[in-house]
Amino acid sequence: MREKLVVIGNGMAGMRTVEELLKIAPEKYDITVFGAEPYGNYNRIMLSPVLTGEKTVEEIMINDLDWYKENNITLYAGEDKKAVDIDRRNQKVIAADGTEAEYDRLLLATGSNPFIIPLPGHDLDGVIAFRDIADVETMLQASKEKKHAIVIGGGLLGLEAANGLMKQGMEVTVVHNLDVLMNRQLDEPSAKLLEQSLVERGLSFKMNANTSELKADENGHVKSIAFSDGEELPADLVVMAVGIRPNIELAQKVGLHCERGIVVNDTLQTFDPKIYAIGECIQHREELFGLVAPIWDQAKVAANHLAAYGIGIYRTQATSTKLKVTGIDLFSAGDFTGDDETDDIVFQDPKRGIYKKVVLKEDKIIGSVMYGDTIDGSWYFQLMKDGTNVADFRDSLLFGQAHMGDSGHAGVNAAADLPDSAEICGCNGVCKGDIVKAITEENLYTLDEVRASTKASASCGSCTGLVEQVIASTLGGDYTPSESEKTICACTNYGHDQVRDAIKPNNLKSFHAVSDFLEFSNPDGCHVCRPAINYYLLAAWPGEYEDDMASRFTNERMHANIQKDNTYTVVPRMFGGVTTAKDLRVIADAADKYDVPMVKVTGGQRIDLVGVKKEDLIPMWKDLNDAGMVSGHAYGKALRTVKTCIGSQYCRFGTQDSTGAGIRIEEMTWGSWTPAKFKIAVSGCPRNCAEATIKDVGIVAVDSGWEIYVAGNGGIKVRVSDFLVKVATEDEVLEYTGAFMQMYREQGHHNERTAPWIERVGLQYIKDEIVENAEKRKAYYEGFLLSQKFSQKDPWKERASEGVAQNDFIPLAEV
């Protein structure tokens, strides 16, 4: 027979424990839940985006009512179902309306209560806290009818409330009793930058304020707030966000040992062995809790003990904080104030609104605070949690992970370098390994799917970029962010097309020209918009715009693909998949000379030198280049290969010279940068041995000429290409191929392969532009050829013989 588990509190901690329990011991208990709020289980963190209007209440439900049914959980929800007593002797819980439930084990997860300062007038109508859906509904209603809002408390919650009310059209003043906002998370310089930025957005502040009274109108509704300096401000709504207190009322009433919270041991057990407690209501080793990250750890431990596995103890881990105000990047973790025994490393650029501080003790990070550029926050946090000794790279620590050699600019590839144990989503306690496992085992390939499966980025959303990086690094070139996920990124409200459309007419020729013109909230951009805009500029201004290699992905910067053991692969180009004995000897010599552990024939018909050490890249390229070989761009958002079959030269079925045509096409297209990787294949007859119908451009010879297919994809999501046109001559094949590529180069979104592009714009549109309209086709083709004049430069030659940016290749220890 199943035992009975009763949970009091239908919030984040209680239901997370139930979820963990269902994973490991789904049959052990009949579960009953009492919740004082009339809903399923929702994500309290996301109340701020509901207030700003970025999310709806439905969108923040973690588990709706059906979930309880599906899992045979009895839910008693609503004010009258609030648990008001526990009969510990007879092991039962009693709700306000008399509903009873017996238990073998009881879990208390009653959360906390907002602290209300007992000022004169604190109990007037229109004075509320910011804790639950009801509070948000009150605020939304007030914003429709009233004008002046006061938020008391300049902490995380207060600023999110103030931002939300301002977004709803109210005039908001934040009243704070110190002169530093978010004083528990920020130091003075970062707090000042934050204040300045919030003032620019329209918030008002009264700092160092000493509130004396809330005054009422004739109906008992708040009308103003008075301060001890004599000032008085109008107030139609007052939100108090000045802290929380563990909700221990019920536990105290039934005699459980409580101090500031319900006291629990390392297994989350209270002083009554049948009763566990978790979340904001508890006190563990003197500590109280107010963020979800530690609560997820607690949930795992509590579930484990409720399942009677008896292993696992809870230990408090460091937590990090971010503010959920769109467009404001702020990160803080650990002890960022420091003392006599610590060293502060600080970077400050007030003009660009950037501040970073890392606090070190004996060469280990013990805290960090960052404003404006928080891209390395998770990296510092991980170094801090791992207790990594940073002495070796202390000098470059503040420049971020990008300057650690292989890690890519501005964290572009940060995710690829993180260990599986690295926490990606602090809100939901999801590690990189969990995400990678879900992607590979469940065949996920969009952010939404990963969110649904792992909950990563499903809460405050500030780790979305990192989750996307994990998806991208796991799926490689098969990842295309979905349209619903864009604007380009949080630096701007504009989407890809809007940014692109601004570039040419306004003569924008650098990243900063674009970010200034479009008033990016982060003028230096981030790992998402920088590479995208770098590409758009490159496509818009051939020969004029200089490629910013720092904005490119690691593989592109290194002109080689990084592998999981941090070695690289080197792939020389073989036009049309044809090689010679001489070239093979050169490759073999390079393999011997540089001790290459594996020589592999690739699917694109060339030879891959796998396992090359970083410091050998340049000399190896030089050797290959001196023998006449160029890079195969096997790493780039660029033309990769033109795969061919043997064709009419030798094959008895062949109708045309597919190999010769393939070589010509590759000679025309190599070196071209495209929004995402681009593959071409040419088959000599409809038997299609070169698999041309799953390529971006696929050409299939027929008796009377060539059929051209476009937008195929052979990756995770296979897409058979669409028939575009049939032509008679090889020259026409070149013209159509160049025109199609140029159209895609000019109109595809960065990172979007031709398959999703064509599904977005429609095949007919492509046909209208380059099949029906010969003039436009010619213009696209000429545009392509013009741009090729500047892009057919062999990067190996530039790097190996001309000495361009060699520093990337020198191992860090030698710098």
| 239 vs 668, beta carbon nearer ligand FAD | 239
Q: Are 415 and 466 in contact (CB under 8 A)?
A: yes
292 forms part of the interface with ligand FAD (CB under 6 A):
yes
In the list ligand FAD, ligand SF4, none, the entry touching 476 (Cβ below 5 to 8 angstroms by class) is ligand SF4
> ∠ at Cα 435 (433, 439), nearest 5°?
115
Phi and psi angles of residue 125, each rounded to the nearest 5 degrees, phi first: -60, 145
What are the structure tokens assigned to 458, written together? 């499903």
Report in angstroms how near the CB of residue 646 gets to ligand SF4 at its nearest: 5
| 134 vs 702, beta carbon nearer ligand SF4 | 702
Give the H/E segment covering residue 304: helix 292-306
Residue number with the shortest CB distance to ligand FAD? 11
150: phi > 0 → left, psi -120 to 50 → alpha, else beta; which? beta
If binding means CB under 6 A, how many residues of this protein chain bind ligand FAD? Answer: 35
Nearest C-alpha neighbor of 431 from the set 446, 420, 442: 420
Among 156, 529, 645, 711, binds ligand SF4 (CB under 6 A): 645
Instruction: Mark the segment that binds ligand SF4 (CB under 6 A) among 174-182, 283-291, 397-405, 649-657.
Output: 649-657
Report in angstroms how near the CB of residue 427 gets to ligand FAD at its nearest: 6
Q: How many CB atoms lie within 10 A of CB 459?
A: 24
Report in angstroms how near the CB of residue 664 gets to ligand FAD at its nearest: 57
Q: Which residues contact 441 (CB under 8 A, 6 or more apart)?
A: none
User: How deeply is 411 buried, as exposed, middle or buried, from its count of CB atoms within 10 A (0-12, 13-18, 19+)?
Assistant: buried
Alpha helical stretches, state H, 179-233: 188-201
In the list ligand FAD, ligand SF4, none, the entry touching 777 (Cβ below 5 to 8 angstroms by class) is none
Which amino acid, residue 31?
I
* Distance from C-alpha of 52 to C-alpha of 194, rounded to nearest angstrom: 19
654 forms part of the interface with ligand SF4 (CB under 6 A):
yes
Please state whether beta strands 639-644 and 678-683 pair in parallel, antiparallel, or not at all (unpaired): parallel
The DSSP symbol for 89 reads T
In the list ligand SF4, ligand FAD, none, the entry touching 170 (Cβ below 5 to 8 angstroms by class) is none
- How many residues appear in the chain? 815
Q: Are 182 and 162 in contact (CB under 8 A)?
A: no
Task: For CA atoms 709, 710, 715, 717, give the dihedral sign.
Answer: negative
Spacing of C-alpha 786 from chain mean position: 37
| 62 vs 354, beta carbon nearer ligand FAD | 62
In the list ligand SF4, ligand FAD, none, the entry touching 109 (Cβ below 5 to 8 angstroms by class) is ligand FAD
In the list ligand SF4, ligand FAD, none, the entry touching 371 (Cβ below 5 to 8 angstroms by class) is none
* Distance from C-alpha of 76 to C-alpha of 58, rounded to nearest angstrom: 20
If binding means CB under 6 A, how many residues of this protein chain bind ligand SF4? Answer: 14
In the list ligand FAD, ligand SF4, none, the entry touching 82 (Cβ below 5 to 8 angstroms by class) is ligand FAD
- Cα-based distances in Å from 71 to 26, 29, 64, 66, 761: 9, 11, 11, 9, 43
Which amino acid, residue 282?
I
The DSSP symbol for 749 reads P
Phi and psi angles of residue 430, each rounded to the nearest 5 degrees, phi first: -105, 125
Nearest C-alpha neighbor of 33 from the set 96, 85, 101: 101
* Distance from C-alpha of 533 to C-alpha of 523, rounded to nearest angstrom: 13
Report in angstroms how near the CB of residue 257 gets to ligand FAD at its nearest: 18
Report in angstroms how near the CB of residue 143 gets to ligand SF4 at its nearest: 50
| 491 vs 661, beta carbon nearer ligand SF4 | 661
Instruction: Mark the segment that binds ligand FAD (CB under 6 A) among 33-41, 300-308, 594-602, 716-724.
Output: 33-41
In the list ligand FAD, ligand SF4, none, the entry touching 651 (Cβ below 5 to 8 angstroms by class) is ligand SF4
684 forms part of the interface with ligand SF4 (CB under 6 A):
yes
Report in angstroms how near the CB of residue 455 gets to ligand FAD at its nearest: 13
250 forms part of the interface with ligand FAD (CB under 6 A):
yes
Paired with 638 in beta bridges are: 673
Q: Per-residue contact track with ligand SF4, 594 to 633, x per CB under 6 A?
A: ----------------------------------------
Instruction: Mark the segment that binds ligand FAD (CB under 6 A) among 31-39, 210-218, 505-513, 637-645.
Output: 31-39
Q: Are 710 and 698 in contact (CB under 8 A)?
A: yes
Q: Are 207 and 179 in contact (CB under 8 A)?
A: yes
Q: Any binding-site annotation on 460?
A: no
8 forms part of the interface with ligand FAD (CB under 6 A):
yes
Report in angstroms how near the CB of residue 123 gets to ligand FAD at its nearest: 20
Q: How many alpha carbons fall within 13 Å on the CB side of residue 533? A: 32
Residues 11-30 that bind ligand FAD (CB under 6 A): 11-14
Report in angstroms how near the CB of residue 645 gets to ligand SF4 at its nearest: 3
In the list ligand FAD, ligand SF4, none, the entry touching 324 (Cβ below 5 to 8 angstroms by class) is ligand FAD
Q: Any binding-site annotation on 685?
A: yes
* Distance from C-alpha of 572 to C-alpha of 599, rounded to nearest angstrom: 12
Residue number with the shortest CB distance to ligand SF4? 684
Instruction: Mark the segment that binds ligand SF4 (CB under 6 A) among 442-450, 488-496, 508-516, 651-659.
Output: 651-659
What are the structure tokens assigned to 641, written together? 């290969």
165 forms part of the interface with ligand SF4 (CB under 6 A):
no
203 forms part of the interface with ligand FAD (CB under 6 A):
no
- Chain contacts with ligand FAD (rule: CB under 6 A): 8-14, 34-37, 44-45, 47-48, 82-83, 109-111, 130-131, 157, 247, 250, 279-280, 290-293, 295, 324, 427, 460
- Chain contacts with ligand SF4 (rule: CB under 6 A): 476, 645-647, 651, 653-654, 658, 683-685, 687-689
Q: Which residues are annotated as a binding site for [4Fe-4S] cluster?
A: 645, 651, 685, 689
